Structure 1
Amino acid sequence: MLQNKKAAIFDLDGTLVDSMWMWEEIDIEFLSSRGLALPESLQQEIEGMSFTETAFYFKEFFNLEESVEELKRIWNQMAYDKYVSQVPLKSGAKEFLNYLKEKNFKLGIATSNSKELVMAVIDAHNLRSMFGCIMTSCEVNKGKPAPDIYIEVAKKLEVLPEECIVFEDIPMGILAGKNANMDVCAVFDEFSKDQEDKKYRLANYYIKSYHDIQNKTYEVLKNEK
C-alpha cells in the first residue's frame, strides 16, 4: 500500500476520528428545535458536501431563516465541546501516524468539516504538528466527489498525486481521491457500514482499523484508479 508513496492524506470524520455518530445527533437536535424531522435520506443527500455547501442545502431544503454563515456558526457551537472532549481517534490511528512520520511521509488532512472543528479535535489529541497541510472543502471550488481538495493538499505538500495514498470512509470521498488520480484506502466506519459494497467497488485497499496496515492484514482490492 505504501510502496512508492511519499504522502498520506486523510479525511477527518469517520476516517481519522470516530465522530459520525455525533452529527446525526446534532442534526436531530437542530431540526427538532425548529419543529422539523430528520429525513431518512439526509445523510446520503449531503454526503461529500463541504460545510458551506451543507449549510446552503439546509437553508434551501428546510426553508430556514438563518443565513449560511449563521448556520455554520450554530453547528460549530453545537459540536465544538464534543470534538474537544468526546470524539476519539479511530483505532490504531495515532500509532499509524507516528509510523508514517518515522518513514518521512508528508501528512495532510482533506476534510468537508469546518476549520474550527478540525483544529479543535486534532489539538485535543496533540496532532497538529503531524500535518504539513490541513485543508477544508470550503477552501476549494467544489466539495467531494470533486478532486479539488485532494489536488490542493498534494500541491501544498509538494508531492505528485500518484505519490499520495488517501484514507476515506465514504464513497463520495473515495471518488474524490480516485478523481485526483490517487490510490485510496477505504476505512471501516460503523456509520457507513451499509455502504460497504460501494466502498469495496471503488477503493484500492480496505482496512477495518489502522492496525491492519502495520500487521499487513489489509485487503487489496482489484479496482483501477
Structure 2
Amino acid sequence: MIFRGGNTVIKAVIFDFDGTIIDTETPWFEIYRELLKMDYDFDLPLEAFARVIGTTNGSLFDLIDQSLTHPIDRQQFKEKARSHYLKIKDDLPLRNGFLDILNGIKNSGTKLALASSSNREWVVGFLDKHRLIDDFPIIFTAEDVEEVKPNPALYIKTLEALGVEPNEAIAVEDSANGSLAAIKAGINCLIIPNDMTKNLTFHQNTRMIDSYLDFDLARYLKRETWS
C-alpha cells in the first residue's frame, strides 16, 4: 500500500548515493588529508572538505592552491587518490539500517529512484556489488545533466522520469549541496547526515534525523508530515 495523508500522497522516494546509502565520503577525506600532508605538507580542514560534499570538488582545489606556492596538479592528485581508494572500496558497508528502510519503501508500493552527482560507473559499481541495482529502476548521475547539485537539474529529471509532482516525492540526502538541490526542485527533503556532514548548516525547509534507525516510514511517507 501507499501511505496516505492530507490531500496528496507520497508517491516516490529519491535517494542520493554517496554518503547517504554508503559512507563513501569519510574514506575520501582521510585519503585526501593523508596525501596532501605527505606530498604538499598541507593540512586539509574537515570543514573545507565537508562544504564540497555532494557537488564537484573544484572549489576544494581552489582553496588548496591558495595555500600552496605552486598549484597542485589536480588530475595527477585525483588519480593517486583514486588508486588508494580502490584498495578499500569493496569493503565499504551500507549505512546501518538502510536495507530495512529500502525494503519498507518497496513493500509500501512507493516508487524508488536515485539521483547522484557522481558518475554512473561509480554509482552502478557499488549498487551491483551490494545487489541493489534492481531496486532503483531510475538512476540519474553526473553524465545526465550539465550541472550537478546544488543545481536542481538531477532532481527535476528524476521527477519527470518518475511521473510525479515535486510535492509527491521526498529526497533522502546527507549533504547541504544535495539538500539544496532538492529544495530548489520543490521536493521535500529528509537529511540523514554522516560524520562528515553532521555539522553543516542545512536549508531551513529540510527535516533531519540522526540515522536510518530513526526513519519512521509511517510518518515520513505521509504527505501531512511535510505540510
Normalised to the residue count of structure 2, the TM-score between the two structures is 0.78
Q: Is the 8 A contact 2:101 2:217 kept in 1?
A: no
Cα 1:172–1:65 change in 2 (3 A) is: closer
Q: Is the 8 A contact 2:13 2:172 kept in 1?
A: yes
2:197 aligns with 192
Cα 1:185–1:130 change in 2 (3 A) is: same
Note the alpha carbon deviations across 1:160-213, whole angstroms, 9 max, x for none.
322211001122211111100000011132222222xx337330x322222323
- Per the TM alignment, residue 72 of structure 1 is displaced from its structure 2 partner at its CA by 5.4
Which of 22, 27, 33 is the aligned partner of 1:17?
Answer: 22
In structure 2, list runs of 5 or more residues that go unmatched: 66-70
Cα 1:162–1:72 change in 2 (3 A) is: farther
2:204 aligns with 201
- Per the TM alignment, residue 95 of structure 1 is displaced from its structure 2 partner at its CA by 1.2
Which entry has the higher C-alpha Rg, 1 or 2? Answer: 2
**Identity over aligned pairs, percent:** 27
Cα distance in 1 for partners of 2:158, 2:84 equals 28
Q: Is the 8 A contact 1:55 1:72 kept in 2?
A: no
Q: Is the 8 A contact 2:172 2:189 kept in 1?
A: yes
Cα distance in 1 for partners of 2:136, 2:164 equals 14
Cα 1:45–1:138 change in 2 (3 A) is: farther
Higher relative contact order (CA 8 A, sep 6+): 2
Partner-residue secondary structure (3-state), 1:8: strand
Note the alpha carbon deviations across 1:65-118, whole angstroms, 9 max, x for none.
354xx6655544332342322x21112111111111122222122222332322
Tell me if 1:65 matches 2:68: no
Q: How many residues align?
A: 214
Q: Is the 8 A contact 1:83 1:117 kept in 2?
A: no
Cα distance in 1 for partners of 2:26, 2:157 equals 28
Cα distance in 1 for partners of 2:192, 2:74 equals 35
Of 135-144 and 160-169, deviating more is: 135-144
Q: Is the 8 A contact 1:59 1:65 kept in 2?
A: no
Of 174-183 and 164-173, deviating more is: 164-173
Cα 1:102–1:49 change in 2 (3 A) is: same
Partner-residue secondary structure (3-state), 1:176: helix
Cα distance in 1 for partners of 2:77, 2:58 equals 6
Tell me if 1:132 matches 2:140: no
Cα 1:200–1:176 change in 2 (3 A) is: closer
Q: Is the 8 A contact 2:167 2:186 kept in 1?
A: yes
- Per the TM alignment, residue 56 of structure 1 is displaced from its structure 2 partner at its CA by 7.6
Q: Is the 8 A contact 2:48 2:60 kept in 1?
A: no
Cα distance in 2 for partners of 1:93, 1:24 equals 22
- Per the TM alignment, residue 224 of structure 1 is displaced from its structure 2 partner at its CA by 8.1
- Per the TM alignment, residue 138 of structure 1 is displaced from its structure 2 partner at its CA by 4.5
In structure 1, list runs of 5 or more residues that go unmatched: none
Cα 1:61–1:28 change in 2 (3 A) is: closer
Normalised to the residue count of structure 1, the TM-score between the two structures is 0.79
Structure 2 counterparts to residues 174-189 of structure 1, below 5 A: 174-189=179-194
2:214 aligns with 212
Tell me if 1:80 matches 2:86: yes
RMSD: 3.2
Q: Is the 8 A contact 1:11 1:168 kept in 2?
A: yes
1:105 aligns with 110
Cα 1:135–1:29 change in 2 (3 A) is: farther
